[in-house]
Amino acid sequence: MKNEHGRFGEFGGQYIPETLMNEIHKLEEAYEYYKNDPEFTAELDKLMREYAGRPSLLYYAEKMTKDLGGAKIYLKREDLNHTGSHKINNVLGQVLLAKKMGKTRVIAETGAGQHGVATATAAALMDMECEIFMGEEDTKRQALNVFRMELLGAKVHAVKTGTKVLKDAVNEAMREWTSRVDDTLYVLGSVMGPHPFPTIVRDFQSVISKESRAQILEAEGRLPDAVVACVGGGSNAIGSFYEYIKDEGVALIGCEAAGRGVDTDENAATIANGSMGIFHGMKSLFCQDKYGQIAPVYSISAGLDYPGIGPEHAYLNEIGRASYVPITDEEAVSAFEYLSRTEGIIPAIESSHAVAHVMKIAPEMPKDSIIICTISGRGDKDVAAIARYRGVEIYE
């Protein structure tokens, strides 16, 4: 993918305060150096294998396949990684990079808490000070993850500004970074923000498609017809897509959060409803009003509750290489329940958006076709929220 000066087509860029510019350049230089440094890559490989538990399984969901009666469905099990989601892939890379850069402290935003937990975990492992910014609303929706991060030694800040969700957590983390750059790296959790973050995060997450491509070739002797993943900022999706971008016969499908419906005011479907904008350091698509005020967005999933999308996704959408579909809360919750019952796998509510789309397309596809669906995280964290959605008043 062409990426000159941090651009994907016209998307991307470095729209951040001057205070951060030298630091961003240092990060870019360090990354360009270490990504080719045999010692760094060996260390990271070891962490991925021995700590995160990679490679993750590519599991043939036979019961689901039979039940839906169409395409063969494979699940890429990122939920089985240490800390329970794909977030660890990026975090181990970035925290190791921070360490090499001589940083002693990492900060991060988190929505559902998965990236915060992963960052706190890597920080504990690599002896870094760690502070996590999380929207106050999300600290309530995902109270267990707050305590989990604290258990790992991180300090969690409940962000009370703005809409008190993920975008506000990013705002606060950026503000914090401008006030303390010398010893601190902002470990961004998705393929968003200013260059080089969209590229760094994509590279660390592309392990998902590197593995799945080899695994499916071994299992089936051919490439899949479609790869399906959920999209908030888009890190598990870009990781799931990346190695297949050159394989034109493989359909790449991102599933975004339609909340209560794309036609309602309560959704986070950026490709469906967004327009061009410049925010959080990047030019991309955003949910916003006609004056460019960023819109409050909504999804049952705290991890997809973001008004923008990574610049490389906006580009893949524009050139037609990937397509993006909206999935409602109701469809995602039904898929959450379906996969739990059918395969005994409880997916994260984020990942359930991808499962929901597979449930729609698999029956229409021939029996010899193949879908790979990324289960980006495990659903334990969502059980109480799903129960409440279904009218069962349980609390964590």
Partner 1 sequence: MSRIKDAFTDKKAFIAFLTAGDPDYETSLANFRAVIEAGADLIEIGIPFSDPIAEGPVIQEADIRALSSGMTTDRVFELAAELRRDYDIPMVFMTYANPVYHYGADVFFEKAAAAGVDGIIIPDCPFEERGEFAETAERHGIDLISMIAPTSEDRIKTIASDTKGFIYVVSSLGVTGVRNEITTDLSSILALIKEATDTPAAIGFGISKPEQAERMSKLADGVIVGSAMVRIVAEYGKDAPKHLAEYVKSMKAAI
Query: Shortest distance, CB of residue 196 to partner 1, whole angstroms?
Result: 13
Q: Which is nearer to partner 1, 162 or 261 (CB)?
A: 162
Q: Which is nearer to partner 1, 264 or 275 (CB)?
A: 275
Give the DSSP letter string of 208-236: HHHHHHHHHHHHHSS--SEEEEEESS-HH
Q: Which residues participate in catalysis according to the annotation? A: 87, 109, 376
Query: Shortest distance, CB of residue 329 to partner 1, whole angstroms?
Result: 24
Residue 320 corresponds to which tokens in the numbers above? Answer: 């037609």
Binding mask 5-34 for partner 1 (x = CB under 8 A): x-------xxxxxxxxxxx-----------
Q: Which is nearer to partner 1, 167 or 378 (CB)?
A: 167
Binding mask 177-206 for partner 1 (x = CB under 8 A): -xxxx-------------------------
Query: For residue 234, which amino acid is it?
Result: G
Q: Which is nearer to partner 1, 318 or 337 (CB)?
A: 318
Give the DSSP letter string of 231-250: ESS-HHHHHHHGGGTT-TTS
Question: Does 174 engage in binding with partner 1 (CB under 8 A)?
Answer: yes
Burial class (CB in 10 A: 0-12, 13-18, 19+), 393: exposed
The Cα–Cα gap between 383 and 392 comes to 11
Overall size of the chain counted in residues: 396
Beta strands in the chain (DSSP E): 7-8, 11-15, 58-60, 72-77, 105-110, 129-135, 155-159, 184-186, 226-231, 251-259, 275-279, 281-286, 322-328, 370-375
Among 41, 161, 264, 323, the residue binding partner 1 under the rule CB under 8 A is 161
Query: Shortest distance, CB of residue 291 to partner 1, whole angstroms?
Result: 5
Q: Which is nearer to partner 1, 127 or 289 (CB)?
A: 289
Site residue total, partner 1 (CB under 8 A) = 38
Instruction: Please choose, from the candidates 198, 166, 140, the residue with its C-alpha nearest in 3D space to the C-alpha of residue 297.
Output: 166
Contact between 230 and 304 under an 8 Å Cβ cutoff? The reply is yes
Among 41, 104, 264, 275, the residue binding partner 1 under the rule CB under 8 A is 275
From the list 202-210, 241-249, 278-286, 328-336, the region that binds partner 1 by CB under 8 A is 278-286
Query: Shortest distance, CB of residue 14 to partner 1, whole angstroms?
Result: 5
Total Cβ atoms within 10 A of residue 235: 31
Kindly list the residues in this chain that would bind partner 1 in the complex (CB under 8 A): 5, 13-23, 161-162, 167-168, 171, 174-175, 178-181, 275-281, 283, 286, 288, 290-294
